[in-house]
Each structure stands twice: as structure tokens, then as C-alpha cells.
Amino acid sequence: MSYQRYTNTIRNLNVTAPFIGPEAQERQSGILFKARLGANESVFGPSPKVISAIKENATEIWKYCDPENYDLRHVIAEFHGVSSENVVITEGIDGGLGLINRLLVDSDEIVVTSQGAYPTFNFHVAACGGRCIKVPYKGNHEDIYTLLEKAKKLEAKMLYLSNPDNPMGTWWPASEIEFLIKHLPGNTTLVLDEAYCDTAPHEAIPAIDISNPMVLRFRTFSKAYGLAGARIGYCIAEASVISKFDSVRNHYGINRLAQIAAVAAINDQDHLKAIVDKIAISRARIADISHANGLIPIDSGTNFVAVDLLHDGLFAQKVIRGLLAFGVFVRMPSVAPLNRCIRISAGTQDDLDLLEVTLPKVLSAAF
Amino acid sequence: MSYQRYTNTIRNLNVTAPFIGPEAQERQSGILFKARLGANESVFGPSPKVISAIKENATEIWKYCDPENYDLRHVIAEFHGVSSENVVITEGIDGGLGLINRLLVDSDEIVVTSQGAYPTFNFHVAACGGRCIKVPYKGNHEDIYTLLEKAKKLEAKMLYLSNPDNPMGTWWPASEIEFLIKHLPGNTTLVLDEAYCDTAPHEAIPAIDISNPMVLRFRTFSKAYGLAGARIGYCIAEASVISKFDSVRNHYGINRLAQIAAVAAINDQDHLKAIVDKIAISRARIADISHANGLIPIDSGTNFVAVDLLHDGLFAQKVIRGLLAFGVFVRMPSVAPLNRCIRISAGTQDDLDLLEVTLPKVLSAAF
């Protein structure tokens, strides 16, 4: 009979969804989450001006978005002091990671990343037929020097680094990132995932240099800006690289209200600052709760805290399941030795009250 | 120095955006459009219940969408009498066309479509390194028999057909589509673009048969449902084919409010019926205006009318530019002989009043 003739890449692929969503977990467990602290969303929400903009423009949803994303690209460019030709809008950073793989990765080509780093990046590498070579973390940090060494040795197409890091929350100072950029092999593109830059210490983020075509900076409105559901990310890079995204992107792929929301969001920096403060307070409380339970919170430049439970991955899984049963949604890194930790997003006071009450119970049951 | 090593496909690609958006045309011309009748959006907008749903849920935008799109897939499945495993949600049909190309098209493989059919499909074929073989229209219809013949001869991976057709608005009865399906070569997947099915005569749309893995039906909320800016399309197909989309899709790519909007939209079929009636009235008026100017409106099963200007493409371009100067945004097919027509979307009474007044002036200036 008839049959689909999938591409070679697709035929050889083991399909695994990068993450199970909280809604699926709720459906499976029958427990509705009271504290949604697993996906590093911003429980504090976006600016009230953003919400107003969405409501005011809701009746315009019958119109396609502007496929050039002109307004949004221009406010982003102005914000960063670059040209709009240095900015492309993507359906979250995830969308951008998919596109850069399609631009660069041919079958069997090599990409270097860290073992336990963002799995959605690896998903997109695999979907293009590429091979991820994974470098172990050095303690709680991605290991810049070994990543560089591997990229050189294997003539990697890309080197992926997130700074600050997900899932550990750690960061490298700008000087280390600049060292990485300086010593990048001539053929290797740096995919610098800066999803968490808005909550990072100022000294962690190097100045943007759009003259270097080999460095791509990925940013998002999903984290501190509180717009995860809008699906707006962007890439900043040298103009000829940005223009290449037009070869593969879904030109009409961005939601019209999401664009309007993102413009309103970037224009309300006061709100962003206030949220970053709230996130810092929340991180501090997660650290306090961790200490009170004999656990070690890892210093974080993100909107979450990786908490070292001082045992193995099986123990962490038990704790995750225990918290889920109390309606507290958190996640954990996927591989050893990072999976001795659980990852708790910044939460509201109510969220963390619930964490504070439930964590000791869950820990004692897990032993 | 350093350089990007793009894939072979990307290196050899001539980048052309599928469509220039109306916003870009407004920026270039300095003229704001008074009648937006070029992109086959629904000027009548979505159901008021949809607008309410967006507004009521706007504060939830800080949450990622459910990556399984569970609620939306289930209402769509119920609506069509299939299982949710037969439905995948995509960022518009455009997004779905991108994904099916990634699943099926390897470098230099052949895909069959019609000359002058949807350019965004061709864009996605090219981005995967595939080659589009284009069959001329037969009069104002896509030529099913020659498409079939070419697909057989060239062992095409895919055959693309839109029914009703864009840009001509014509349709084949279900019996012809069933003939096509029956005679499809065993190796060729039918990509059946049914963006305009909601406005088509009942007899144009064949029953859905999810047992045949070689037939993929693409639908959208962008047209009659009035949600072009939301970016929600879907594909209905046999479950194993649908599951393959998980290998390449952006799992968190759908906007959270857009999902909620689409659920509300499909649940308000009374609104859809009322809009389909309005579209029919609008099409009739476009036909009247065309006749009054000595032009020939082509019978349409869509939310637009292709109007034969009875001259060549250069003449049609003049008319398009003339209408734009009066703030009337319309488009035209890209290739001869279809480009003797202009394509006018169903409009409000005000929109068509403006068309009625301006068209005679523009036509006489174009001669």
C-alpha cells in the first residue's frame, strides 16, 4: 500500500518532546497546581500597560501581523542601540533555535553544548540531522574552556551556551564570555542564549557587538517581561546573518497581539525593574527555605533557584513528585550530576508560603 | 576571518519573502489603507465571544501555552468527528506547510503544485532544498489530471492542491478531489490546503478519511473565523503521520491566548454561519461592482473574488497601484495568465462603497 517517505533525518529520529507541560501533568495526576514554579515563567505577570494593550487591540486580531515585525524590531533595536536590521523576531527563543539550526546544520554535522543544558536546543539539532557533543558542567557552571576545546577539535558548526545558565542558574562574568568569543574557532557560530539576562548581574552580560557575524544573541519576553504565553523572542546579530533568517522563518508566524504586547513591555522599563526586584526577593526566600531544610541553594542570576538536595537524581525525583502531590509544580535537571538539584522558579508570597510548608514534609517522606 | 557555514540548501537559496505585508506597503507609500481587502482576512472579525475570551484571559499571558494544545485539539477533533490524535496545531497553515516539508522533502526532491498557486508553499519547499514542478491552471481551476500525471511521472514527494483555490477562488467538487485521492501515486502525499473550506459550497469538501496516511488536510482560523492575527491552523491526518510533526514542531510555539480564542471560535458556529452569509453578500456585491465596470468576476468559494480585468498583468498592476493610491489594498496573482485578475477580499459595506467609487476612476486612468 501507500506509505510516507519521510526524509532520512526524520526516519532515523527518536521523537521525544523536550518538556512535558504542566497542563499535561495536571491532567495525568488529576491535581491542579497551586504554585506554578516549574517553567521559569514570571508569576508576577507583565506590565499592566501590556495587559491594557492586549485588551485594547483584541478586536484587531482578524488582521495578520506585519510580517516584517517593523514596530517591534525598531523598539528592540533602539533599546539595544543597534539597527533594526540586526534584529529578527522569533516565536520565543525556541523558535529562534529551530531557525538557526536550519540555517547552519546539515546532516551529521557537529554542534557542541553542555551535558544537561537546554534540551530544546538539542531537539532542534536532532531535527536537522545534526549531532550534539555534550561537555560536562564544571561544578555548577558550563565549562567554557572545554566547550571551546571540543568546538576546535571537532570543527563544530555551533557552540551553544546559556548565560545565565539554565538549569543551574549560574553565570559567567562578561569577561569570560568575551574570552570565549575571542577564542571561538573561525568556523564555529556562538549561540548565546540570554533568556535570563534581565535578571542577571550587570557584569554578566557583555556589550553587544553586531560586527561579529559569528556571535548570535538570543533574548526573550518570556521570562522577566512576563510574556511566556505570547511567544516573542528575538535574535541580535550582524545584519547579513539576520537577513538569512528570512530564508526559513514563518514570515507571518508571530501573533499580532503578542507583537503589540512586546512593544508595550519593552517600553515599560520601570515595571521590568520592579519585577526584577521582586524576583530577587523571591530568590532570597527560596534560599532561606532551602537553608532551613538543610539544602544548598545555588547562587542564581535567573528567575529561578537550583537547589542542591545533596543526594542523587532518584531522590530529587521523589521530592519533585512529593511537591507535585501538594500542588507545587517544580522541575529538575535531566542528567547527573546536575539532577541532584531541583529547580524552583521565583514565586509569589502565596506560592512560597506553600513551598515552605510542604517542602519539609516532602523531604522527610523522601528519605 | 570568520564566516558562517550555512547549509548547502541555504547557500543556494534566493531569499524572497512570500508576500509584502500591507503595513510595509503603507510605510512605503505613506498612505494608510482605508479598505484592507488584499490578504483575505475577515474584516467582519471573530465572534464577540472570542474577543471576550481574549480579554478575560489576558492576564494569563505569563504562562506558556500547553505544548500538547490539548483543549484545542480536542474541540477540533470533536467538531470533525476524529480523534485528537488526528490533529496537530500549527502557527497558521503556513506553519503546517513548513513542517510537512521538513518531514518529507530532502534535497533535490520533487514536489508538484500549480503555476501561480500559494507561493508560501513553494517558499517552504525551497527552504528544504526541494524542487517545485508547476503545472499551469486549466482555465481558472487547478488542473487535477495534469497534476496527477506529473506526480506519477516524477515520483513526487508531495502534490499540493488548494480547494477552494487561492488565488482564483474556484473549487472542485468533492468527487474530483476523491478521484485525485484515489489515483494518487503510492509514494505521493497530498497536501490539501482547505483554508477556504468554511466559505465553500458544501459539495466542494470531501468527507474526512483519517485512515489514509497519504492525505493531509490543512485548515485555519485565519479566514472565516476571523483570527488571522492569532496564528492558529491545524492539520488533520492519520495518527502516525500527525505524531511525526512532534519531531520538528516548536512544541511551545502557539500563543496561549490564541489557543483560547480558537476554542471559543469553534464553539460559536452561529457566528461562523452569520459571517459566511455576510461574506456571500459581500462577494455578490464585488461581482456587481465588477459587472458595472465591464469586468468578469470569477465564481468564488472563498472569502474573496478574483476579478478578470480582461487585459494583461501590467494592466492589473496599474489597477492595483491605482487602488492603493486611494487607500484600497488588494492583491493579484503573480503569474500569467492568472495575473490578468485582481483579487478582492470580502469587505464591509464601507470598504465596498470605497471600491465602488474608486474602481471606475482607477480603470479609466489605467487605460
CA atoms within 13 A on the CB side of A271: 18
CA–CA min distance B201, chain A (Å): 23
- Measured between beta carbons, the chain B residues lying within 8 angstroms of A51 are 58-59, 61
CB contact set of B19 (below 8 Å; sequence gap of 6+): A67, A251, A252, B39, B119, B120, B331
Question: What is the CB neighbour count within 10 angstroms for residue B2?
Answer: 14
pLDDT digits (tens, 9 = 90+) for B121-156: 999 999 999 999 999 999 999 999 999 999 999 999
Rounded distance, CA A272 to CA A232, Å? 16
Rounded distance, CA A219 to CA A213, Å? 17
Query: CB-based contact (8 Å) between A17 and chain B?
Result: yes
pLDDT-derived band at B18 (thresholds 50, 70, 90) equals confident
Exposure b/e, B161-193, CB count within 10 A at least 16 = b: bbbbbbbbbbbbebebbebbeeebbebbbbbbb
- Measured between beta carbons, the chain A residues lying within 8 angstroms of B19 are 67, 251-252
SS3 string of chain B? Answer: CCCCCCCHHHHCCCCCCCCCCHHHHHHHHCCCCCEECCCCCCCCCCCHHHHHHHHHHHHHHHCCCCCCCHHHHHHHHHHHCCCHHHEEEECHHHHHHHHHHHHHCCCCCEEEEECCCCHHHHHHHHHCCCEEEEECCECCECCHHHHHHHHHHHCCCEEEEECCCCCCCCCCCHHHHHHHHHCCCCCCEEEEECCCHHHCCHHHCCCCCCCCCCEEEEEECCCCCCCHHHCCEEEECCHHHHHHHHHCCCCCCCCHHHHHHHHHHHCCHHHHHHHHHHHHHHHHHHHHHHHHCCCEECCCCCCEEEEECCCCHHHHHHHHHHHHHCCEECECCCCCCHHHEEEEECCCHHHHHHHHHHHHHHHHHHC
- Measured between beta carbons, the chain A residues lying within 8 angstroms of B45 are 59, 61-62
CB contact set of B93 (below 8 Å; sequence gap of 6+): B193, B195, B218, B219, B220, B222, B233
Kindly determine whether residue A228 and residue B18, on different chains, have CB atoms separated by under 8 Å.
no
Residues 48-87 of A with CB under 8 A from B: 50-51, 54-55, 58-68, 70
Give residue for cell 527552504: B127
Exposure b/e, B113-128, CB count within 10 A at least 16 = b: bbbbbbbbbbbbbbbb
pLDDT digits (tens, 9 = 90+) for B324-354: 999 999 999 999 999 999 999 999 999 999 9
pLDDT digits (tens, 9 = 90+) for A11-66: 988 777 778 899 999 999 999 999 999 999 999 999 999 999 999 999 999 999 99
pLDDT at B2 over 60: no
**pLDDT for position A1:** 42
Query: CB-based contact (8 Å) between A138 and chain B?
Result: no
Q: Which of B365, B344, B349, B348 is nearest to B290 (CA)?
A: B344
- Strands A35-36, A328-329: pairing is parallel
Rounded distance, CA A307 to CA A356, Å? 14
- Residues A300, A280 contacting (CB under 8 angstroms): no
**pLDDT for position A62:** 98
Question: What is the CB neighbour count within 10 angstroms for residue A3?
Answer: 10
Instruction: Report if pTM > 0.90.
Output: yes
CA–CA min distance B274, chain A (Å): 16
Instruction: Provide the sign of the torsion angle of the four alpha carbons A325, A330, A331, A332, taken in this order.
Output: negative
Residue to mutate among A23, A61, A216, A220, with most B CBs inside 10 A, is A61
Helix ranges (DSSP H) in chain A: 8-11, 22-29, 48-57, 70-80, 92-104, 119-127, 144-154, 174-182, 239-244, 256-266, 269-292, 313-325, 349-366
| CA dist A1 → A11, A19, B39, B47, B257 (Å) | 18, 35, 40, 44, 42
pLDDT digits (tens, 9 = 90+) for B246-286: 999 999 999 999 999 999 999 999 999 999 999 999 999 99
Nearest CA in chain A to B98: A250
Rounded distance, CA A306 to CA B65, Å? 24
How many residues appear in chain B? 367
Kindly determine whether residue B104 and residue A13, on different chains, have CB atoms separated by under 8 Å.
no
Question: What pairs with residue B275 in β-bridges?
Answer: none
Nearest CA in chain A to B43: A62
**pLDDT for position A12:** 87
Residues 252-281 of A with CB under 8 A from B: 252-258, 261
pLDDT digits (tens, 9 = 90+) for B159-181: 999 999 999 999 999 999 999 99
Grid coordinates given for A253: 508566524
**pLDDT for position A331:** 97
Question: What is the CB neighbour count within 10 angstroms for residue A277?
Answer: 10
pLDDT-derived band at B4 (thresholds 50, 70, 90) equals confident
Kindly determine whether residue B70 and residue A257, on different chains, have CB atoms separated by under 8 Å.
no
Q: What is the mean pLDDT of each run of 10 residues along chain A (367 residues)?
A: 79 80 95 97 98 98 98 98 98 98 96 97 96 98 98 97 98 98 96 98 97 97 98 98 96 98 98 98 98 98 98 97 97 97 98 98 96
ipTM over 0.90: yes
Rounded distance, CA B246 to CA A334, Å? 20
**pLDDT for position A319:** 98
Give residue for cell 472569502: B303
Q: What is the phi-psi region of residue A72: left when phi exceeds 0, alpha when psi lies from -120 to 50, beta otherwise?
A: alpha
Rounded distance, CA B216 to CA A213, Å? 40
